[in-house]
Each structure stands twice: as C-alpha cells, then as structure tokens.
Amino acid sequence: MIQVNENYSKLKASYLFADIAKRIKVFQTTYPHKPIIRLGIGDVTEPLPPVCIQALHEAVDEMASRETFRGYGPEQGYDFLREAIAKHDFQARGADISADEIFVSDGAKCDTGNIQELFGAKVKIAVPDPVYPVYVDTNVMAGRTGKNTNGRYAGLVYLDGTVENGFVPAPPKEPVDLIYLCFPNNPTGAVATKEQLTAWVAYARKNKALILFDAAYEAFIRTPGIPHSIFEIEGARECAIEFRSFSKTAGFTGTRCAFTVIPKDLVAYTKKGEKVPLHPMWTRRHTTKFNGVSYIVQRAAAAIYTKEGKRQVKKIIDFYLGNGKIIRKAFAKAGYDCIGGDNSPYVWVNVNGKKSWDFFDKLLHDAQVVITPGAGFGKDGEGFIRVSSFNSRENVEEAVKRIVKAL
C-alpha cells in the first residue's frame, strides 16, 4: 500500500500566493469589467536589461552551430558566471568567496527549499515571524515540525518581528541549530545593520549553528554601510550559507537564474559530533538532482556584471524604488505607518488594528488593487499588509489614487 507523506496534512491547503490567485480569479469572474492592478506577489514587470537581451541573442546563435553548440553544462554553473559572481558580488565588497563556492541554480525559492535536506530530521529551527513562507512550509513537509496551532507550528522557535525591534529580531536566548534570515527582508522590507548581523554570526558560531541567509533583494540596498552579504561579516564563512537570485535584481522571474554560496569551511556535525563539510554534500546533491541552468540564460545573467550591465540594472532598481517612494507617501498621507520600500521593493504597512485579510478584501473590492496580507507571512504579520513596488509607474500612480480614495 502506497503511503503518503502525512506531514503535508499539517500545511495550510495552498501556498500563500496560490491562495491569493484564487481570490483574484473569483473577483475577476464576478466583476470582469473591473481592471485589477497587482501589487501583490513580487513579480517584476520591466523588461530584461538590454545587455541581457543581447547576450541571449548571441548565445542562441551559438546554439545554432555545431562548433559552438552546448549540451549539458557543469551542474554548478559555467565558470564564466561563477567567476563574475565571485568577483563582483563578493570580492568587490571584501567578502572572501571564490568561484568554486558558488552553485548556480534556477531559483532561490528552490534552493532555500531544497537545502534543508542536508540537515538532520531533528534539528532545532529558528524562523522570524513574519517570514517568507517557503522556509517554514518546506520544513513542515520534511517532518521537522508538529501541528499548526493558532498560526504556529509546534517545534519551531519563532523570532518575533515587531515595530519595537524594527522587524529585525535579535538571536534567541536558547540554542538552536538552523536559523533563517532574510535581508532586505521579505515581507517587511527591513534591513539589518553590520552590528545586528555580527551578533547573529557570533550566536551561530557559539552554538555551532548554521545561518541560511536569503539575500535575494540585496540589489535594492541604497543606505551606505548596510551589508549586502552575510560574508561581509567576519566569521560568517564558518556558519552561513547565502542565497541570491537574478529574479529581482535583473528581472529574471520568468527567465530563471539564481545561486547559492556554500563556503568550503562550513561544517555540520554527525550525531557523534564529527565534522562533515557541507560543500561536498551540496555538490553531491546538486550533481545528482540538477542538470544546470541553460547556457543561454547563464550568458544573460553574466551580462549584468559588465559596466553597462551594472548601469542598466541600477536604473531598473532605481525605478522600482521610485515606485516604493510613491506607495509609502500615499499610505503615510492616508494615516498609515509604513517601513520598507527604500532598501527593498516591499512596503510594509500597519493597517491600524484591522485584520490583514479584511484589508486585502477591501482593497480588492473598493480599489481593485491586489496587495499581500501580512497574516500570510505568519502570526506577527496580522495587522499589516505588504505592498509590492513591482509595476509600471502608470499602474502604481493609478493604484495609490484608488487606494487613497478607498481609504
């Protein structure tokens, strides 16, 4: 008799963004003539930077000739991309990361979800609340939690993100083994200072714990002095893995390319306390389960590291940050406190004591604007909404006009 993985029954019926998509569909079926503006899921709207388009065309042409055609590539990524990443994203910021510590993949969502298979079934996990749901749901699927009661899974250590701590929780008092951190944060848009990350690295080293650091939104950081990588912090090579993505940096949500950094110094432990390096384990996993990102897409990704590529990427991100400013201003004017939107594409709005799903429904029905209810990111997200800056200027201006009117 084939048995199911019963851990799935502990999950909410559908993934947050699938849930939202269903509600939108119902609304659209009922009111087909009311045009909706989407500031919900963080999906980019601007076209790929021209340097990427040019690199894609050239790579496609290479595939048309026997001499330059490529079949399977290295699972971890082509050297030209890994070297560009190591040099421009890390070494240029004083972070000691080499090309062979970078694993190119098709998405940070997949990598943050897959990485947990390297760890024991009983590791103690700390997650911030609110949090990107993938970190929690994938551990639920793997059986590392108990049931969900009142919005929280038994067995997890939740780190409360609050207005008081600026949505940057401090390390817990108790020891944990695995810690998920995301900065700039999804959903709150908060960023962590060097001092705050230094405290996390010190905690992880003291407790022989591992930090899974999601830096998918680092390209939005504009405040000087805010670290773009956990590896800018001394000692992080011994206690952290970092996830990055071209999705939000260069508009690759549909094109798919990302990478994970696993330093060679990094170890986890057997039950007996023997050290096991994680780099060879992830190499084994990646080469067994993944056949690499396509050559043409890796060429497109590498193009953003040229001088012109960097200029074009900055221009697009500045554009989204401009949208963020408009959204923040509109909510502030309407009497709602917000954070984020300045070093991140997300604005996190306090909805003044209202329930976040009620606010979602109100904006959908009264303004035909889709946002993401904070409660979808955890218990502490109740009373907040997340508004995404990813859209055209015209749509953002129209959306805030409608929102202000509806409020």
- Per CB under 6 A, residues contacting ligand MLT are 41-43, 109, 186
Is the backbone peptide bond immediately before 184 cis, with ω within 30 degrees of 0? yes
Give least dist CB 79 to ligand MLT, A.
27
Least CB distance to ligand MLT at residue 186 (A): 5
Q: Which is nearer to ligand MLT, 42 or 378 (CB)?
A: 42
Nearest to 210 by CA among 145, 158, 271, 268: 268
For the CB of residue 43, give the shortest distance to ligand MLT in the complex, in Å. Answer: 6
CB of 124 to ligand MLT, least distance (A): 25
Q: Which residue, 180 or 203, has its beta carbon nearer to ligand MLT? A: 180
In angstroms, give the least distance from the CB of 17 to ligand MLT: 6
What's the CA gap between 390 and 253, in Å, rounded?
Answer: 12
Whether 379 contacts 159, CB under 8 Å: no
CA distance linking residue 4 with residue 132, whole number of Å: 26
The residue number with the shortest CB distance to ligand MLT is 42
CB–CB of 159/211 below 8 Å? no
Between residues 78 and 180, which has the closer beta carbon with respect to ligand MLT?
180
Q: Is 224 exposed, middle or buried (CB count within 10 Å of its CB: 0-12, 13-18, 19+)?
A: exposed
16 Cβ contact partners less than 8 Å away, ≥ 6 residues apart: 133, 372, 376, 377
Say if CB 204 and CB 175 are below 8 A apart.
no
Helices (H) and strands (E) in the chain, counts: 12, 17
If one counts every other C-beta atom within 10 angstroms of the C-beta of residue 230, the result is: 26
Task: For the CB of residue 75, give the shortest distance to ligand MLT in the complex, in Å.
Answer: 22
* Nearest residue to 109 (alpha-carbon basis) of 252, 231, 278: 252
Minimum distance between the CB of residue 39 and ligand MLT, rounded to whole angstroms? 10
Which residue, 176 or 339, has its beta carbon nearer to ligand MLT? Answer: 339
Peptide bond into 130 cis (omega under 30): yes
Residue 185 vs 368, nearer CB to ligand MLT: 185
Q: Whose Cβ is closer to ligand MLT: residue 203's or residue 346's?
A: 346
Q: Any idea what the Cα angle at residue 158 is, between residues 155 and 159, rounded to 5°? A: 155
Smallest distance, Å, CB 107 to ligand MLT? 8
Which C-beta is closer to ligand MLT: that of 131 or that of 304? 131
Positive or negative, the CA dihedral 292, 296, 301, 303 is: positive
Nearer to ligand MLT, 109 or 299 (CB): 109
- The kind and range of the H/E element at 203 are helix 194-206
User: Least distance in Å: CB of 360 to ligand MLT?
Assistant: 14
- What distance in Å separates the CA atoms of residue 95 and residue 83, rounded to the nearest whole number? 14
43 vs 398 by CB, closer to ligand MLT: 43
